[in-house]
Amino acid sequence: MSLLRVEGLRTCLLSAAGIVRAVDDVSFDVEAGETFALLGESGCGKSMTALSLMRLLPDAGSIVGGQVLLDGRDLLALSEAEMRDVRGREMAMIFQEPATSLNPVLSVGRQIVEVLERHTPMQGTAARRRALELVDAVGIPDPARRLDEFPFQLSGGMKQRVMIAMALAGDPRLLIADEPTTALDVTIQAQVLGLLGQLQRDRNMGMLLISHDLGIVSQLAQRVGVMYAGELVEVAARGAFFASPKHPYTHKLFAALPRPERRGGTLETIPGSVPPLTTIFSGCRFAERCPRAWARCREEVPAWHVASDGHAVRCHLYDPEQAGESGRHRAAASVAPFSTDTGATSPPAGAPLLEVADLKMHFPIRKGVFQRVAGQVKAVDGVSLRLTLGRTLALVGESGCGKTTAGKAILQLLRPTGGSVRFEGEELTALPPARLRALRADMQIVFQDPYGSLDPRMRVGDIIEEGMAALDTASGRAARDRRIDELLERVGLSAGMRGRYPHEFSGGQRQRIAIARALAVAPRLLVCDEPTSALDVSVQAQILNLLKELQASLGLAYLFITHNIAVVEYLAHEIAVMYLGRIVERGTVEEILQDPKHPYTEALLSAVPRLDAEGQRPVIVLKGDMPSPANPPAGCHFHPRCPRVMPQCARAYPAETLLGGARSVRCFLYE
């Protein structure tokens, strides 16, 4: 008997638009010691499925049908008092955002002890001792001190580990992990994924993993289910799923992934968006977005069909009774998901548009009544970069290494503490405000969070027009109106959308608006700060295609700030790897990704989740978190975490070693 069996689960939410069928006839099972992954775009019902299993629905939600059997006991038939005993003891959940899931006014130890006192016989000193063991087990350094700290004193990776410790405190048999690594860097993500896998093996837990990252799923899951518009559309074992995905929606997800062999081509995108779940569907829910749909798909709801041993798919293409009709459409579906496009050569590096030399951005630490300077936060500490028109330089590294601060200092949104920033030979750091304002049209930025960077009280047309009016780049209202319409069409929106507000758009559409606003003043340099980090893979493909097309047609130079190596492989020409305020390695994308030299770069690349059907790819897991830039380690800043550390690494910072061409590295291994 399965540890967890879900049969015909239906969950509805009441909304102003009508009844939202968030989970519609979903069935699957999870065995003890097995990880079952739910994949799909945002809005497909993955998290609502998890909340339904835990019976933690919002007030407007209710479960209207189905069964949830845990060890043969129907959880939907339990009273709320009985369910409270199940949560934490028999099944537990790691929520997507640990910062909002942890109580900010209770210490870490108090929150773990609460779980122990509620679900185990332990009380007082015994519970605290067990909490200490759990914090140590999840790999948090100095657990005795951390136990008395509050969530705001912990890094993102540590907060996620605390959530794992709380989930494991009651020794549950089933663990639900809802996007457990979404907000984490790849190095911390590797630590958390490795920890989850090890704990699952040690405890023989069943795990329901919710993710939209195919690489993470290939690393952790034994079986995979794909959700679309509230229902499952494909279920298969990991090996069969990654070797031969069946459903057209799954094909599109694979084809939208940025991969090195697709550098010269355009990523496939999924037109439209997930249909509203208030819709009463008469046919296949994916039909309007499916390139292989025919009349039957719009008229008849598809049934489940077995495509191969253990591989089930909800699609008319695999109906044996329609072999003639569906076979004709399935011929296109047999194309391998990893088709190779013709590689395109990188544009030649000409005269530099941007030259950054020894850039420093230090922030004073003030203490005492008189706010005297007691130290410096060295966010950027001697960064040098070079960028030419038509090329993309990727600045990569973990959160907190200074990437965003460097981008803002280059654009003079923050005045640098030291160093030189030359734009077409003109020194920006010494310019008077009037001249710097005139150059703003040539240098623009696309921020990470489009919702936070767009004024919610302004219409889209006004947002795009604001820069043109301020910098006087288009004379007259009529000229600006024409420009706004052209820009909206160019970024894949319609001119008729100019009267809407930001909240009326999806995340991908808001990012397109942010790009249109930046392009409105005809810049030549665009700083892109994590522009795809919060987007689904299908929406990410749309934005990357747009950025590549704009660069090819307008000759833009991009400084692309990111920790997403897959995006770097597809879009960038050169890479600079940053650690604790300094560049530790630089070179072309081929040089860095095929032959990394610095131990940090090696660990960064190995930690990126890849599509690995066997799940056997080795990962270099770094110890601990990045040190504070207010108190960096002596010598090489990376040496406390470096797997190849030598005695001299703790004594002095390594000089830059040139390896030929523009390739360089700061490491004693190459001196």
CATH number at residue 564: 3.40.50.300
Indicate the residue among 171, 199, 220 that finishes a domain: 171
* 359 and 499 co-located in one domain: yes
Report the distance separating Cα 441 and Cα 437, nearest Å: 8
- The pLDDT of residue 534 is 65
Stretch (H or E) spanning 3 = none
* 389 and 533 co-located in one domain: yes
* 547 and 458 co-located in one domain: yes
From 529, 510, 509, select the one nearest 413 (Cα to Cα).
529
- pLDDT at residue 86 tops 80: yes
Indicate the residue among 551, 580, 598 that finishes a domain: 598
Q: In the structure encoding, which two tokens stand for residue 586, read together? A: 């630089």
Strand partners, 304: 314
Stretch (H or E) spanning 365 = strand 352-367
* 378 and 263 co-located in one domain: no
Q: What is the pLDDT of residues 243-280, one digit of tens each?
A: 999 999 999 999 888 877 787 788 888 887 788 899 89
* Residue 522 identity: A
- Strands 304-308 and 311-314 come out as antiparallel
Residue with tokens 């949830």: 68
Residue 219 lies in a domain: no
Indicate the residue among 598, 631, 652 that finishes a domain: 598
- The pLDDT of residue 325 is 55
Task: Return the SS3 of 386.
Answer: strand
- pLDDT at residue 339 tops 50: no
Measured at the CA of 580, the angle between CA 574 and CA 582, to 5 degrees, comes to 45
Q: What is the pLDDT of residues 341-350, one digit of tens each?
A: 434 445 555 6
Q: What is the dihedral of CA 414, 420, 425, 429, to 10 degrees?
A: 40
Report the distance separating Cα 404 and Cα 564, nearest Å: 14
Which is more confident, 492 or 312?
312
DSSP per position, 77-94: GS-HHHHHHHBTTTEEEE
- Note whether 535 and 508 are within 8 A (CB): yes
* 293 and 392 co-located in one domain: no
Which is more confident, 188 or 30?
30
Strands (E), 194-349: 206-210, 223-228, 231-237, 304-308, 311-314
- Average predicted confidence (pLDDT) for the chain: 88
Residue 481 lies in a domain: yes
* 384 and 523 co-located in one domain: yes
Q: Please, which pLDDT band fits residue 382 given cuts at 50, 70 and 90?
A: very high
* 576 and 481 co-located in one domain: yes
Residue 455 lies in a domain: yes
Residue 276 lies in a domain: yes
Burial letters for 655-668: b for 16+ Cβ neighbours within 10 Å, e otherwise? eebeeeeebbbbbb
Residue 42 lies in a domain: no
Residue 580 lies in a domain: yes
* 405 and 316 co-located in one domain: no
Q: What is the pLDDT of residues 436-486, one digit of tens each?
A: 998 999 999 998 877 788 999 999 999 999 999 888 887 788 889 999 999
- The pLDDT of residue 328 is 54
- Mean pLDDT, range 70-82, rounded to an integer: 94
Q: Please, which pLDDT band fits residue 616 given cuts at 50, 70 and 90?
A: low
- The pLDDT of residue 507 is 74
Domain range holding 448?
353-365+374-598
* 470 and 568 co-located in one domain: yes
Q: In the structure encoding, which two tokens stand for residue 398, read together? A: 């973990």
Look at the chain and report how many structural domains it folds into.
3
- The pLDDT of residue 87 is 92
Q: Please, which pLDDT band fits residue 565 given cuts at 50, 70 and 90?
A: confident
From 271, 272, 231, 224, select the one nearest 246 (Cα to Cα).
224
Strand partners, 660: 663
- The pLDDT of residue 187 is 77
Q: Please, which pLDDT band fits residue 330 given cuts at 50, 70 and 90?
A: low
* 323 and 385 co-located in one domain: no
Share above pLDDT 90 across residues of the chain, in percent, rounded to a whole number: 58
Alpha helices in 388-506 (DSSP H): 403-410, 433-439, 450-453, 460-471, 477-490
Residue 319 lies in a domain: yes
Report the distance separating Cα 469 and Cα 317, nearest Å: 54
* 430 and 486 co-located in one domain: yes
- pLDDT at residue 613 tops 50: no
Report the distance separating Cα 64 and Cα 19, nearest Å: 12
* 475 and 361 co-located in one domain: yes
- Tally Cβ neighbours within 10 Å of residue 454: 21
Strand partners, 7: 67
For the ranges 37-51, 151-165, 628-642, the lowest mean pLDDT is seen at: 151-165
Residue 491 lies in a domain: yes
